[in-house]
Amino acid sequence: MPVYRMRDGYSKLSKNEQQFKEACSVLLNNGTLCLMPEGSQDGHRRLRSLVKGLFRIALEAQLAVGKSRDVQIVPVGIDYSEYEQPGADLVVHFGKAIFVSDFAAYYEQDPVLGMNVLRETLAEKIKDLITDIHNADCYEEIYGLSRLLSPAYLQARDLKKSALNCFAARRQLSLRLKEFFENKNEEKTQTSILKEFHVIYDVLPGSREDKYCLLENLRRILERQKLKIVFMALALFPAYIINWPIRKVIQAIVKLDKDRQMHSSYRFALSALLLPLWYIVLSILPVLLFNFSILKAFILFLVFILAACSGGRFIPAFRREFRLMRFLHAQPSELRSKLISTLNKLEDLGRDYFVA
């Protein structure tokens, strides 16, 4: 549902009335609307201000149906384990429905008041379903530490590592970290934790999202045997080679958009479009060059699909880890020991303040 704003031009604002009427008609006919109430994104795990259009639609529809039935808003929280690479874990939480009829009286009294009260209610409901970090001064530290300490959090509670449990751990840790960094009586410990955190965070290679993902798996990466890394590289090599030309094309296209959060969507869409075509070309070439039968070409196509899909899911994470291992290999050997020692200190501090 397109909505026009001032930046789109003042003359287009009048078109919103028709959009609102059409949206209300959907609800009046027992339909369902899925709306993103923030209306924008900025790459941080926090709830942005909710736009008022959703609440106007809901309240107008409620007034139109009267007491014959309730218009309901179901709050939904969405969490991605990472923003920039495809294949990230996705957690979707559904909250309890909000009955718009409870706010109709406010809206009849004063439309602005009614929309604001409903907006504040929905915002609080959504915050319970997401990771919501509004501390601008320590955002990277709070979220980074929540990723770093989440394995210890899961271990302390004897929980399996799953997308849902990892999200719950990050959310609980971020809440405790937020309270901790706002406590003026803990300034000495805060300084110590921040110092140790940046010993690790500042040396990790890659973007901010790369660093977050590395933090969550740092101990496993640092303690992994070189033989396992070689085995993983060999296992993923066929998929890497098969996809390499298309991956380069996709990278060139993706870089045209400066919004890194959109990159994973572009990669997914372009991969779904281009890779099957590429696999068909690779399967047809042996038929044309070596007189392969159609059956052999089809089997080859299935092999390409299996190898590329099974390996492609893990290549971004392996590339990130391999970049870190290559960086550590070029540094003095003491750096790895220092990182493990710092990680131990942070886990000990975190165990007392956040994990227990």
Residue range 29-85, pLDDT digits in tens: 989 999 888 877 777 899 999 988 889 999 999 999 988 889 999 999 999 888 877
Assess if residue 166 is contained within a domain.
Answer: yes
Assess if residue 144 is contained within a domain.
Answer: yes
Assess if residue 327 is contained within a domain.
Answer: no
Assess if residue 332 is contained within a domain.
Answer: no
Assess if residue 118 is contained within a domain.
Answer: yes
Q: What per-residue confidence (pLDDT) applies to 15?
A: 66
Of the three residues 127, 153, 184, the one that is the final residue of a domain is 127
Tell me, yes or no, whether 30 and 164 share the same domain.
no
Find the Cα–Cα–Cα–Cα dihedral 79, 80, 84, 85, rounded to 10°.
Answer: -160
Q: pTM score, two decimals?
A: 0.83
DSSP string, 193-259: HHHHHHHHHTT--S-HHHHHHHHHTHHHHHH--HHHHHHHHHHHHHHHHHHHHHHHHHHHHHTT---
φ/ψ (deg, to 5) at 30: 60, 25
Residue spans of the chain under pLDDT 70: 1-16, 310-313, 353-356
Q: What per-residue confidence (pLDDT) applies to 175?
A: 92
Q: What percent of the chain has pLDDT over 70?
A: 93
Give residues with Cβ within 8 angstroms of 111, minimum separation 6: 56, 59
Strand 76-80 to 90-94 pairing: antiparallel
- Name residue 76's beta-bridge partners: 94
Compute the C-alpha angle 230/316/280, nearest 5°: 95
Q: What per-residue confidence (pLDDT) applies to 7?
A: 60
Q: Which domain holds residue 296?
A: 226-313
Tell me, yes or no, whether 189 and 299 share the same domain.
no
Tell me, yes or no, whether 116 and 155 share the same domain.
no
Tell me, yes or no, whether 25 and 122 share the same domain.
yes
Tell me, yes or no, whether 210 and 282 share the same domain.
no
Strand 76-80 to 72-73 pairing: unpaired
Residue range 295-342, pLDDT digits in tens: 888 888 888 777 777 666 678 888 888 888 888 888 888 888 899 999
Tell me, yes or no, whether 118 and 199 share the same domain.
no
| Packing angle of the helix pair 187-201, 334-350 (nearest 10 deg) | 150
Q: How many structural domains compose the chain?
A: 3
Tell me, yes or no, whether 147 and 212 share the same domain.
yes
Tell me, yes or no, whether 208 and 247 share the same domain.
no
Of the three residues 127, 157, 182, the one that is the final residue of a domain is 127
Compute the C-alpha angle 171/176/179, nearest 5°: 125
Assess if residue 321 is contained within a domain.
Answer: no
Assess if residue 318 is contained within a domain.
Answer: no
Tell me, yes or no, whether 70 and 209 share the same domain.
no
Tell me, yes or no, whether 88 and 28 share the same domain.
yes
| Separation between Cα atoms, residue 183 and residue 177, nearest integer Å | 10
Assess if residue 99 is contained within a domain.
Answer: yes
Tell me, yes or no, whether 277 and 188 share the same domain.
no
Tell me, yes or no, whether 163 and 199 share the same domain.
yes
